[in-house]
Amino acid sequence: MFETFSNFLIVDPTLWAFVAIVGLLLICGLGLPMPEEFPLFYSGYLAYRGVISIEVAIAWCLFAILAGDSLLFGLGYSLGQKILDWPWFKKIFPPDSVEKVNVYFRRYGSGVVFVARFLPGLRGPVFLMTGVLRMRYRNFLLFDGLASLISAPFLIWVAYKVCHVFSGEIHEALRAVRKTERVILGVALVLVTVIFVILHRRKKQKLAPSDT
């Protein structure tokens, strides 16, 4: 699928191609088994080709990401606990994944939304369960938005710059971005670890009995 879409963009790098990318990002938020890094890379490529500006690419990609995440949150919020018993839900989000999400929420609170954006395997279950557990939407949007502002613009910018380095040779640029992603992932994991430690300590302090 990646190669087919790559060839499509090379042959027809138009505004409609970017619309397709935005749609893919929106569907990714609803559980499509595709890394968000894929459409983000091609957004940077289309910015390199001059189809859109890099500012427009970043703005629309952020909108699509947050919209998809919000739809998943809203689905969980509107259906509540009964969604956990639906067969299709159990197929997409196995019970062990849901239990992990519950454990994370008990340990770290609302900040787990921020961490989940960097963990594709748990992102969907976490965002859906935030709705089921009736988290305030403004809190969800705050943590999800902060994480998205860190990851999405940076990946689009890296793709845009790398395409300049390789003169638009998309496959070479993609290989270079994938190598860069390892560094990004390493930094993200360090950041996630720090966030987890901070949240865990704050949770323990709240639960600790007062001396007075």
Number of CB atoms found within 10 A of residue 187's CB: 13
Please give the pLDDT value at position 4: 55
Cβ 156 vs Cβ 42: under 8 Å: no
Per-residue pLDDT at 212: 47
The burial class, CB within 10 Å (0-12 / 13-18 / 19+), for 102 is middle
Question: Structural domain of residue 24, as residue ranges?
Answer: 2-207
pLDDT of residue 52: 87
pLDDT at residue 64, as a whole number: 92
Provide the phi-psi class of 31: left if phi over 0, else alpha when psi is between -120 and 50, else beta.
Answer: left
* Residue 212 placed within a domain: no
Q: Is residue 168 part of a domain?
A: yes
Contact of 112 with 202, CB cutoff 8 Å: no
pLDDT given for residue 111 in this prediction: 76
The H-assigned helical ranges of 35-136 are: 37-48, 54-79, 87-92, 95-108, 112-116, 120-132
Find out whether 127 and 147 touch, Cβ atoms under 8 Å: no
List, in order, residues 6 or more apart from 34 with CB less than 8 Å away. 1, 24, 28
Nearest of 193, 150, 185 to residue 62 by alpha carbon: 150
Report yes or no on 73 lying in a domain. yes
pLDDT at residue 60, rounded to an integer? 92
Burial class (CB in 10 A: 0-12, 13-18, 19+), 5: middle
Q: Which parts of 133-209 fold into alpha helices (H)? A: 137-165, 170-207
Domain total of the chain: 1
- pLDDT (tens, 9 = 90+) of the chain, 212 residues, equals 455 555 555 555 677 778 888 888 888 777 666 677 778 888 888 888 888 889 999 999 999 999 989 998 998 888 877 777 777 777 767 777 777 777 777 776 777 888 778 776 677 778 888 888 888 899 899 889 988 888 888 888 888 888 777 665 666 666 666 666 566 666 666 766 676 677 667 766 766 665 54
Residue 35 lies in a domain: yes
pLDDT value of position 78: 87
